[in-house]
Copies of this chain bind each other. A is one copy, B any other.
């Protein structure tokens, strides 16, 4: 199970790189990098150092790409889209910085987390700064629909995180509860990205909605795969601290699926692991392997992906193809 064979469900077999997919918006993606770099440079001392540490660390820039791609579908002021795209990357970074404090994570993108590198005090304030800077940039764009959407989305992300935190170490967590957590903490922002771009481009309400649904389903699919990786991935490939879900008592889809198939002594031992802050994660990984949890989890991920693509059938074929390629890129993860 913890082998290195790549994740290749049928639907994802021909994934391209993001740069190949979104060639038309590449110049704008570069502008986003420049904006992020400028944001770091505005600060001084430890703020500059820590924000640079976080913002130059790469990342897929999936969220920025979604804003830009949606905005590019109709002639509009792309400088506004660049600003919103950079801002959503700031929001995303802020959530990562704060989540790593909460999860006691030590590794992110193959580097020490901010809480490890600069201390958790700096991590709390850096996250706050990134959020605030993001809203400053979004507000300056001056589109009230986008500003409201982003503020509402950020609020829902926090609610999802808090809800999940509250339900830690609950071995009986229901599938619906898990889905409600990840919809808010991960999928809502991905959904808001495409929708914001669509709003900036002046696409129809139906088209805005299509981007919203696409992002929501794709975001859920993405988080399911992320949670699978946390269980069965290899740290040096994923580049971040793994098994944080288990040790932080977060019941994710693979763990819920495992719970439903186990019986007797195996089930008892597993339930005990779920409630323990020091779980026998290797034992759990072995159990998951024995019961084909990877494959079962991937079925869910693919279902949500199919839902995402169904939502964008109102668009011309070339747009659909691009959105399909983006989702394949997002889900093509090496275990």
Contacts and interface: CB of A to CB of B under 8 A. Distances in A.
Interface stretch (A123-131, A284-292, A318-326): A123-131
Contacts of A139: 139, 144, 147-148, 150-151
21 contacts: A43-B162, A46-B162, A47-B166, A98-B124, A98-B128, A102-B121, A102-B124, A122-B165, A125-B162, A128-B131, A128-B154, A131-B131, A132-B154, A132-B155, A132-B158, A133-B155, A135-B147, A136-B154, A138-B151, A139-B144, A142-B144
The secondary structure that dominates the A interface is: helix
A151 to B, nearest CB: 4
A151 B129 contact: no
A126 B144 CA distance: 25
Contacts of A120: 101, 120
A162 B131 CA distance: 14
B154 A135 contact: yes
A114 to B, nearest CB: 12
Contact of A124 (B101, B132, B133, B140): B101
Interface residues of A, number: 43
A245 interface: no
Contacts of A129: 155, 158-159, 162
A161 B98 CA distance: 17
A154 B154 CA distance: 15
B163 A44 contact: yes
Contacts of A155: 129, 132-133, 135-136
List the 3 closest pairs (A to B, CB-CB), nearest first. A132-B155, A129-B158, A136-B151
Contacts of A43: 159, 162
B158 A128 contact: yes
Q: Could you say how many copies of this chain the assembly holds? A: 2
A261 interface: no
A45 interface: yes
Nearest to A149: B139
Contacts of A122: 162, 165
A165 B124 CA distance: 11
Contacts of A152: 136
B102 A166 contact: no
Given A98-B124, A158-B132, A47 B163 contact: yes
